[in-house]
Amino acid sequence: MAHLRLGDTAPDFTAETTEGKINFHEWLGDSWGVLFSHPADFTPVCTTELGTVARYRNEFDKRNVKTIALSVDPLDQHKEWVKDINEVNKTTVDYPIIADEDRKVSELYDMIHPNSDENATVRSVFIIGPDKKIKLTLTYPASTGRNFDEIIRVIDSLQLTANQSLATPANWKEGERVVISPSVSDEDAKERFPGYDTIKPYLRMTDAKKK
């Protein structure tokens, strides 16, 4: 059983999906990825979640993010369920849903938590960078739908800070001020982030833009 941590390489796999057979790393290419699992098809919360991801297509595209869902139900059932998702949410699911009947991917990513449910996956979320490294993990109980605004917010933070010595404060949203990493000296900060504010010697705030 895998116990994936931040910075680990996301396990590669080949799987059948509603968009055909894919090799995960090849499918990701140079994009960021969001892999998220569902307890079962034809369930109410999942139906709202997959529809929400479809409606957020433009937001994911703007950030060079591919989305892919998973449950342990069979492919033909996925395809029937997609019809309901599209109808209920007035959208079009245009991203793959993995049919993980043999639980191969679920076990690779530790998505089945027996003390919660021996048969269904929990609501796992993995954000994966273009380097195929895991940048974020989240685990929700089956009863709680995910907040995809938060997932978008995290992606904005990850992309902003990926190649800069910056971090984002609590409740940060794109466009707001950010924190200069403690590893940057004041001298370097003056050059790299002119006009920054010192709140405390260890807390310096600045404006920033994506590179």
Same domain, 87 and 167: no
- For the domain that residue 178 is a member of, what is the CATH number? 3.30.1020.10
Total count of domains within the chain: 2
- For the domain that residue 100 is a member of, what is the CATH number? 3.40.30.10
Same domain, 168 and 113: no
Same domain, 21 and 72: yes
Same domain, 31 and 124: yes
Q: Check residue 99 and give its pLDDT.
A: 92
Whether 8 is covered by a domain: the verdict is no
Whether 90 is covered by a domain: the verdict is yes
Q: Check residue 106 and give its pLDDT.
A: 85
Q: Check residue 120 and give its pLDDT.
A: 57
Whether 74 is covered by a domain: the verdict is yes
Look at residues 96, 119, 146 and tell me which one is the last residue of a structural domain: 146
Structure tokens at 196: 């920054």
**Whole-number Å distance between alpha carbons of 191 and 193:** 6
Same domain, 120 and 175: no
Same domain, 102 and 202: no
Whether 135 is covered by a domain: the verdict is yes
Same domain, 109 and 192: no
Same domain, 169 and 198: yes
Same domain, 51 and 133: yes
Distances (CA, A) of 68 to 35, 54, 138, 189, 209: 5, 11, 15, 39, 28
Distances (CA, A) of 150 to 20, 28, 38, 125, 157: 29, 22, 18, 12, 10
**113 close to 123: Cβ distance less than 8 angstroms:** no
What residues make up the domain containing 63? Answer: 14-146
Give 181's contacts (C-beta < 8 A, 6+ positions apart).
165, 166, 167
Whether 121 is covered by a domain: the verdict is yes
Q: Check residue 69 and give its pLDDT.
A: 94
The set of catalytic residues is 46
Same domain, 96 and 168: no
Per-residue pLDDT of the chain (211 residues; tens, 9 = 90+): 458 899 999 999 999 999 999 999 999 999 999 999 987 889 899 999 999 999 999 999 999 999 999 988 889 999 999 999 999 999 999 999 999 888 888 888 887 654 455 555 567 899 999 999 999 999 888 788 999 999 999 999 999 998 889 999 999 999 899 999 999 999 999 999 999 999 999 999 999 876 6
Whether 24 is covered by a domain: the verdict is yes
Same domain, 186 and 111: no
Q: Check residue 114 and give its pLDDT.
A: 44
Whether 49 is covered by a domain: the verdict is yes
